[in-house]
Amino acid sequence: MELRKLTVHDREIITELFRDVFTNEPWNDDWSDPAQLDAYITDLTGQGYSLTLGYFDGGRLVALSMGHVKHWYTGTEYFIDELCVARGMQGKGIGGRFLEAVEAYLSENGICQMFLQTENNVPAYRFYLKNGFSELAGHVSFSKRIPDSRRNGTLDWYRENLESFISGTADADMTEQYRLFLEHVPSGGRVLDLGCGAGSASLYFTRAGYDVLAADGCPELCEYTRGRAGCPVRCLRFEELDYTDEFDGVWACASLLHVRKTGLPPVLRLVRRALKKGGVFYASFKHGEAERESNGRVFSDFTEESLRTLLVETGGFREIALWTTGDVRPDRAGERWVNVLCRAE
């Protein structure tokens, strides 16, 4: 057995072991969102104060400790955020030997104490007591749930009306808009389906040979698109878009219309940052001038003139085309949509 110090660059093998252990008994944690899991592993392993130690058997990672170092007045301490042993290796003494190796490493590096938390009704609790840990007398863990101030009626509506929304939009024929968009995207280029909804565009672009990433703020729609289109999907809100010079095209069909008008310029700037120079951007909005709420959902409506003004004032885009169409859904034939196609400058 060999103890090695690991870094964020080892997160592939770290993630594999972590997921296998903690999505099974007794933990049963739901790590079905790969982007959230990758962010968590990066948080634990990629900071300046991170300390991640792995235990290897013949080149295979069989035990893992992820934590951080804290320089306290009594000495340097190691706080363990996650510790696990491969499921097939549990109950064989591997965990005890791993902790001995960790302790030796900490001692050699001048770290005088280690801390961790666990539940007192799982086998891990007895395991730690057996291996020399003791409960801190006079200490107690507190928790307080923070209300999500970002929660909004729009996402609630999609959660509550998931099946009817999917059935009403999954087969909408957007072929003409797809064609106009893809004329400006290099063959096989990288495309972001921003606000993917039921995944129709992601499926179309993937089948056409493009490198597609879908994104939506509704976890249930992300899961549906992942299964339907077979492409990577991230669950994020528009204001969380965090890419730079990444995409040849960003497709935002009937999605940004749920951003309040005062919030659109900063979101559009994030879209511009995510695009490569010369990349193409498509968006569509319901025709009108209002900012309104309907059944809990926010809608920002635009005319051709007001949408052009928004893009000019935001900056960073050169208009290719701006046009009005009818709704492609047969039961919505009377509704009008404003479409814009522009290029990142």
Summarize pLDDT for 283-341 with one digit per residue, the tens.
999 999 999 998 889 999 999 999 999 999 999 999 999 999 988 766 666 789 999 99
Contact, 322 vs 338, CB < 8 A? yes
Question: If you classify domain 2-130 with CATH, what class do you get?
Answer: alpha beta
Q: Running DSSP on this structure, what letter comes out for residue 217?
A: S
The CA-atom distances, in angstroms, between 94 and each of 85, 124, 172, 234 are 7, 13, 56, 36
**Cα within 13 Å of Cα(43), Cβ side:** 8
Q: Tell me, yes or no, if the two domains 2-130 and 153-344 fold the same way.
A: no
For residue range 62-87, what is the model confidence (pLDDT) as tens digits?
Answer: 999 999 999 999 999 999 999 999 99
Please name which of 100, 115, 102 lies closest in space to residue 5, comparing C-alpha atoms. Answer: 102
Backbone angles phi, psi at 10, to 5 degrees: -100, 15
Give me 135's structure tokens: 């409960």
In angstroms, the first-to-last Cα distance of the chain is: 55
pLDDT band at 246; cut points 50, 70, 90: very high
**Residue 228, beta-bridge partner list:** none
Q: What is the pLDDT, as a whole number, of residue 80?
A: 96
Report cis status (omega within 30 of 0) of the bond before 123: no
Domain ranges of the chain: 2-130, 153-344
The class (CATH top level) of 153-344 is alpha beta
| For range 128-139, the mean pLDDT | 90
CB 19 within 8 A of CB 31: yes
Angle, helices 34-45 vs 11-22, to 10°: value is 120
Return d(Cα 284, Cα 252) in angstroms, integer: 7
257-286 residue pLDDT tens: 999 999 999 999 999 999 999 999 999 999
What is the distance between the alpha carbons of residues 302 and 288, in angstroms, rounded to a whole number? 5
260-263-264-269 Cα dihedral, nearest 10 degrees: -160
Q: What is the pLDDT of residue 334?
A: 73
- Which residues are paired to 340 by β-bridges? 283, 322
Q: 120: burial class by Cβ within 10 Å (0-12, 13-18, 19+)?
A: exposed
Which one is predicted more confidently, 32 or 105?
A: 105
Is residue 181 over pLDDT 80? yes
Asked if residue 18 has pLDDT above 80, the reply is yes
Measured distance CA(249)–CA(202) in Å, rounded: 12
CA separation for the pair 45, 68 (Å, rounded): 8
Q: Which helix (H) or strand (E) holds 2?
A: strand 2-6
Residue 147 has pLDDT above 70, yes or no: no
The pTM of this model reads: 0.58
